[in-house]
Chain A
């Protein structure tokens, strides 16, 4: 901005921002640090960030009737192996990937042709369909969870992958975003493709899809972040069947039976769930922020 900022005001700004940053980072610090520590270090808040990593006795292992010396473990290894052993965390992560990927693929499969038709094809009723898209933008899917749940229950689909995926297959927001993007694609490109003898179907997937990659990336970020982190909907439709748990559900289950001594493995689980998106974000933050801005600004 204009105006000369003195070194003093510059330092003051940094002081304020650093204070904010400390508060923002605090839980991440706690999470990672405690995933490395033994229960005793957690309770007494000792051991610094990494913990002393002294051998600890796994009380649960002792309870199972093993000799104490066979139950020695290094805290960090203990916490992370417990995270995978105590609950099928790998299964949960796989479910998370399956659900998130299916949602995104189906969303694109439905939204892309629709957006192309709404922006480039002339047909009677096009404006009505677009009006419908605009109307549906007003409905937050989480808010209508209850009737969706009843419909799925009536169809006997609760506790299935379908229940996790189906309500998210239509992204009116995706349609809207893609339509705005396709509007900027010159008609000549499509005419040329038609001259080459391409039919409308191959135009969508061979001409429009490649040009839409930047918009699709933005939408992918939006969709993946939302559904990997979503807790509400899986909580509603998955009741009891642990094989279908998504990562947040798996973590919640951990908390449910945690009696305090499982804080270490629980923090390890939290770290494992949160890490993929954070790492992806740190590696490509410009893209992420652009994507979130683009999709956020609708």
Chain B
């Protein structure tokens, strides 16, 4: 019954809109959205479909023919060690960079927000890496971390013979032999790449958290204080953190999607090495598909990548709809 009414209402509403199809207003509407629709279809939708189709082929650019190979490309990705290393490198990068850059962003925002003065100076400084071309900064970091002429190892070496050697075994070992090669050592390379990612990105999260903090009503702190929550940790746990829920969900999603796309540092410095420890997905797509012309496998990686992004975004929507803040 209700359905019938709805349908009737639907058709009733349909009639006048149909007549409106060619009013000046609707015509203008179609003209205005047409370029955007065409570009969306050609630049965003079609490539996804093309990638999906190509991921089941052994296509390579320049060859007229190709064969359908079924799920072979995907099977390779989940069985061969190269791709296992790729997934591991991406996973490590995302699992390190996301929490640390968010934690540091939040920490910096809280500290700056609670300062009596000079907060703006730190805000400016921490945001500088967000503005600077990552490629340029990656090259500078590579230079700073250079094993022989880099400033970092020089500073580390200058601390040798002091207390640090006694406190830390790692430091003592560094003094006895050499400090790490950073990008050249497979035990360190991925962590060093992560470090640059964190260095570059946490200022962005800080700014988003600072914006989030300004929207926390001060009365809530008064109310919490009335209820006896007057330690800083209690205020944070009971008021600040829940109120920052929506910001956090957004920051997690955007940082994760960005982290999956890390490329500049890897391409310019490590080229996926040593021993494929920094062979992240975006670099794998570039190397396999564009340098080696193995389009099929590149397309398969692209599809897995998109699946991750979709999953994440749906998780975000779901969390936001569940209203992460407990109001």
Contact = CB atoms under 8 A, between A and B. Distances in A.
Given A14-B118, A200-B28, A251-B135, A146 B268 contact: no
A231 B32 contact: no
A252 B149 CA distance: 20
Given A30-B144, A232-B264, A122 B235 contact: no
Interface in B298-327: 298-299, 302, 305-306, 309-310, 313
A148 B285 CA distance: 13
A143 B299 CA distance: 10
Nearest to A16: B111
B290 A175 contact: no
Contacts of A148: 43, 47
Interface stretch (B16-24, B78-86, B170-178, B181-189): B16-24
Interface string A151-165: 101000000000000
Given A43-B149, A117-B33, A200-B32, A143 B131 contact: no
A147 B127 CA distance: 34
A285 B267 CA distance: 31
B307 to A, nearest CB: 10
Contacts of A122: 20, 25-26, 29
Contacts of A133: 36, 40
Given A144-B306, A151-B50, A231-B263, A281 B136 contact: no
Contact of B151 (A45, A123, A248, A277): A45
Interface stretch (A51-59, A80-88, A106-114): A106-114
A223 B142 CA distance: 27
B25 A296 contact: no
A31 B129 CA distance: 13
Given A144-B302, A292-B130, A2 B44 contact: no
Greatest chain A CB density within 10 A among B133, B211, B232 is at B133
Interface stretch (A63-71, A97-105, A209-217, A263-271): A263-271
Given A140-B261, A147-B302, A231-B264, A255 B113 contact: no
Interface residues of A, number: 93
A170 B140 contact: no
B140 A229 contact: no
A75 interface: no
Nearest to A129: B33
Interface in A131-182: 132-133, 136, 138-151, 153, 166-167, 169-170, 172, 175
A298 B221 CA distance: 28
Given A123-B29, A266-B139, A229 B207 contact: no
Interface in B215-245: 218, 221-222, 225, 230, 232, 235
A31 B140 contact: yes
B47 A138 contact: no
Nearest to A272: B136
B160 interface: no
A273 B222 CA distance: 49
Given A118-B33, A139-B44, A146 B108 contact: no
B134 A289 contact: no
B48 A34 contact: no
B257 interface: yes
A278 interface: yes
A138 B232 contact: no
B55 to A, nearest CB: 10
A147 B50 contact: yes
A1 interface: yes
A230 B130 CA distance: 12
B112 interface: yes
A243 B236 CA distance: 54
A163 B280 CA distance: 25
A128 B45 CA distance: 15
A48 interface: no
Given A16-B111, A34-B143, A255 B268 contact: yes
B261 A228 contact: no
A66 B298 CA distance: 50
B139 A270 contact: yes
Contacts of B111: 13, 16-17
11 contacts: A21-B126, A42-B149, A123-B27, A138-B310, A139-B45, A147-B50, A150-B54, A151-B46, A278-B131, A281-B131, A297-B250
Given A142-B282, A151-B46, 8 more contacts: A25-B125, A123-B26, A143-B305, A144-B306, A170-B43, A232-B261, A251-B139, A255-B268
Q: Which 6 A-B pairs have the closest CB atoms?
A: A123-B29, A123-B26, A147-B47, A200-B28, A113-B32, A170-B39
